[in-house]
Amino acid sequence: MARTHLLGRDKVVYTMDPKAQPALRISPGDTVVLETRDALDNVIARADQLPVDIDFSHVLPATGPIYIEGAEPGDTLEILFQEITPAAKGLSVIIPNFGFLAAEFPNPYTKIIPLREGFGDFAPGIRIPLRPFPGVVGVAPAGEPVANIPPGDYGGNLDNKDIVVGTTLLLPVFVPGALLAIGDCHAAQGDGEVCGTAIECDATITMQINLHKAEHIPRPRLETPTAYITIAYGKTLEEATKQALLDMIDYLQTEKGLSREDAYILCSLAVDLRITQLVDVLPAVRAVLPKAIFM
């Protein structure tokens, strides 16, 4: 019998740690309603509060970790996002020495953005349609704990704007129980996340968590109502792009039975490569395969 669990934003972690104590234990098939804090741990509430002296050991709090009974290394976790509700207010900041154009924008800056009726009020005459998603979604890696700042094969700071309601995220499992943690909700973000922040906000997220036993994937993947998506990161944008493409070729061979050559050509004809983010230590790219080409 599947159950629904609540997990508040008082239970957060700043690292993905294989030795962390679980905040919640669930069974595969259960639903979790989880509250998240904003990326800066709720330290900024007004425009006159600037992002200076940020304690980078206390950014990107992720609610959890959640222990999934029966999850073991080599399995795949499936997270279906059912509802993501942002708070009534979000914020974006420019943090000195951070962001894709850090050299051009040395000064700290805070912008408060009211969120209402599905839009972010950016300025008079400018409103941004909300597409809320969690920036950080990860499981514990094997070995040493990892800060929630870069992305990795375990997920982490993915900042992938396609992880919205209706999307299924697949994550590889590295440790018993998986130890899933989620946070850093973005009410809206452009591809690239160029200034280093999106519309950062508190949120409440409802998701169903399933487990695929003995099904291994190398890195996180997404399925949306309209696309299959591989996601990868690297020391450079080029490295990330090659990995996302190679993962898509592997996917087409394994799941669609194509030859390696046909898979490569199909990517050239129908797959879009998109910059996911440029600011999280390791840049990330995703390869988007439209479902509509399959009859």
Sites of contact with Ca ion (CB under 5 A): 39, 135, 157, 159, 184
Compare residues 71 and 158 and give the one whose CB is closer to Ca ion.
Answer: 158
Compare residues 172 and 183 and give the one whose CB is closer to Ca ion.
Answer: 183
Compare residues 15 and 157 and give the one whose CB is closer to Ca ion.
Answer: 157
Contact yes or no for 84/183 (Cβ under 8 A): no
* Angstrom distance (rounded) from CA 41 to CA 39: 6
Compare residues 153 and 184 and give the one whose CB is closer to Ca ion.
Answer: 184
Contact yes or no for 196/100 (Cβ under 8 A): yes
93 φ/ψ sector (left φ>0, alpha ψ -120 to 50, else beta): beta
Cβ 111 to Ca ion, closest distance in Å?
14
Q: Which two tokens stand for residue 10?
A: 């008082």
* Angstrom distance (rounded) from CA 161 to CA 287: 13
Compare residues 245 and 286 and give the one whose CB is closer to Ca ion.
Answer: 286
* Angstrom distance (rounded) from CA 180 to CA 178: 6
* Angstrom distance (rounded) from CA 230 to CA 223: 9
- Which helix or strand (DSSP H or E) is residue 182 part of? strand 178-186
Q: Which two tokens stand for residue 75?
A: 């399995």
Contact yes or no for 249/259 (Cβ under 8 A): no
Q: Residue 132: how many CA atoms within 13 Å on its side-chain side?
A: 29
Cβ 53 to Ca ion, closest distance in Å?
18
Which positions ≥6 away from 117 have C-beta within 8 Å?
none
Cβ 174 to Ca ion, closest distance in Å?
21
Cβ 17 to Ca ion, closest distance in Å?
18
- Residue closest to Ca ion when measured from CB atoms: 135
* CA angle, residues 68, 255, 264, in degrees to nearest 5: 125
Compare residues 68 and 285 and give the one whose CB is closer to Ca ion.
Answer: 285
Cβ 183 to Ca ion, closest distance in Å?
9
Cβ 237 to Ca ion, closest distance in Å?
17
Cβ 199 to Ca ion, closest distance in Å?
9
Compare residues 91 and 244 and give the one whose CB is closer to Ca ion.
Answer: 91
